[in-house]
Amino acid sequence: MKYTIGTRGSKLALAQAEFVRGRLSQAYPEDKFELQIIKTKGDRIVDKPLHEIGDKGVFVKEIEEKILSGEVQIGVHSMKDMPSRPASGLMFAKAWKREDPRDVLILREKERLEDLPEGAVIGTGSRRREYQIKHLRPDLRVVNIRGNVDTRLRKMEEEKLDGIVLAAAGLHRLSMQDKITQYLEPEEMIPAPAQGILALEIREGEEKLKAMLDALSHEETAAAALGERSFLQEMGASCHLPVGAVLRKEGEEMFCLRAMFGNESGSRQAYASVSGREPEELAREAAREIRSQLAGTVVLVGAGPGDPGLITVKGLQEIREADCIVYDRLAAPELLEEAKAGCEKIYVGKASSNHTMKQGEINRLLVQKSMEYEKTVRLKGGDVYVFGRGGEEGMFLRAHGVPFQVVPGISSCIAGPAYGGIPITHRGKALGFHVVTAHDRNDELADINFQAMADSKETCVFLMGLSKVGEIAGKLKEAGMAGSTQIAVISQATTPEQRTCVSDLDHIAEKVIREGLISPALIVVGEVVSLREELNFLENRPLSGKRYLVPKIGEKPTRLKKLLENQGASVDEVQVGVIEHVKPAFVLQNLKEGD
């Protein structure tokens, strides 16, 4: 059978692909293996650093497209250039024996790194190498250099650089070992994850081909690839951030994983060295150790129930100091206006059956952002823990070595009824209250003890239950609660759009449909609902239910907006201009000439 091997066209890529073809031809003489050269984005753009032209996929995407189409059966890449996960529909064969993973120095005149004079100039296209070489010698100047090995060697001579840093593996595969001046041990410079390992990529489902490739694998290298790439995945790192990892065998069954990670500017770096038997566990342990040194703080902040004025003083302070805000659908948009200039804002809102980002992805995002910023605020509607999954986020952060804090928020289960004119407790009517979420993870009615609610004289509050209001009323009646019991549904509580529907258990479902209430909404059941007529203050304001658009000059909120909101209106502002002080470009004589 004929197999086509896809490769880039550089000398090194061709040498790697030729090595793979040679081994396969020797192992499977009955089959035919041929090469196809494919040009990638990384090959076309050679005048910019890697972090400016894209992520690790810049050297592989075009090859992967041809594998998926069936035009190519095997893609040969340097595994260090590969993203931490293969593209959808593709998989990797087990790793073959790696080449020397170390980085090396090629110096123009000197023999050792320590021999270089102060201010010597070193060329590299890798931030990982740049930051580590400056960690060893802070006095050196590092400049960007891209291109194949020959190009870099020529640039070193033409630009009179004192030296360049390259991977030993590439020079070995090109039989250019004689160019190497000094090998840099992992204790001096930690290599890129999987440096020196070839990635053999094929389509998912190609089991026969995978078995052929796996038969030539190398156990120790496979373990190294697993551990090093697991660390890369744990850190969620892109080529914008310097990251290194190398796993080596220690004795019969033990491994040692050395790892490094830095921020984008290179001002902060952390190193870890861990030993154990399982490569993936070592990756997790190293990542935790790195984060314990570098991670900023994640603050879980309760944004309150909707009215931006109900944020706590401490919560507002955290928002103003945040470098990054990860916010929910129910957090008031006005709170984001309090963020400082340059703060990154990431929306992760979740509505019923419509999640911008799943909870597991949010957890990982918080860990990732903690490595980029000193302070990340996770802004959650209501309170952090009241049906907010803040506990899951805190536990995930702790398990990954990221420090976190909690700023509680005012929960809608208390504020919503209050803004609807309903006290959640009242002497003679309710001495306590039940608060439950009305739906489960499958969007079905939650497993609620309706009997306990029906038997008590306490207020019952159901959150996130608008679509289940009929079922809730029915279950309460089945448990013995009278059909005449008063019930209120409060939509968009504490906001200018708040609307409240009051009825009894027998008729609430049809009335909610008739009045067209929308989520988010909460449900209040009990005698306290009868106090609404006397205590309703929000929806009786002169401009309640009205919306206004206010044009403004400059960025600051207008006084008119505040006045309208105080009367109950919902106000949006649009900036139509800015006033700037401009120094006059005319003199007194010009004024005299005016009519």
Active site positions, annotated? 328, 350
Please state, in angstroms and rounded to a whole number, the distance separating the CA atoms of residues 18 and 29. Answer: 15
Residues 321, 496, 311: CA angle, nearest 5 degrees = 25
Please state, in angstroms and rounded to a whole number, the distance separating the CA atoms of residues 411 and 493. Answer: 11
Residues 548, 550, 556: CA angle, nearest 5 degrees = 130
Query: Hey, which residues does 301 pair with through a beta bridge?
Result: 379, 407
- Amino acid found at 167: A
Alpha helix (H) ranges present in 440-577? 450-455, 469-478, 508-515, 532-535, 559-566
Please state, in angstroms and rounded to a whole number, the distance separating the CA atoms of residues 108 and 120. Answer: 11
Please state, in angstroms and rounded to a whole number, the distance separating the CA atoms of residues 466 and 522. Answer: 7
Angle between helix 279-294 and 219-235 (nearest 10) = 30
Q: From residue 232, give the alpha-carbon distance in Å to each of 82, 133, 314, 413.
A: 11, 21, 36, 42
Q: Within 13 Å of residue 12, how many CA atoms lie on the same side as its CB? A: 20
Q: What is the DSSP letter of 304?
A: B
Closest among 428, 258, 412 to 332, alpha carbons compared: 412
Q: Which two tokens stand for residue 534?
A: 């006397």
Please state, in angstroms and rounded to a whole number, the distance separating the CA atoms of residues 126 and 191. Answer: 11
Burial class (CB in 10 A: 0-12, 13-18, 19+), 460: buried
Q: Residue 478: phi, psi to the nearest 5?
A: -60, -30
Please state, in angstroms and rounded to a whole number, the distance separating the CA atoms of residues 98 and 378. Answer: 42
Q: Within 13 Å of residue 312, how many CA atoms lie on the same side as its CB? A: 18
> Which residue has tokens 């993973």?
101
Query: Hey, which residues does 270 pair with through a beta bridge?
Result: 261
DSSP assignment of 232-269 equals: HHHHT--TTS-EEEEEEEETTTEEEEEEEEE-TTSS-E
Farthest-apart Cα atoms in the chain, separation: 99
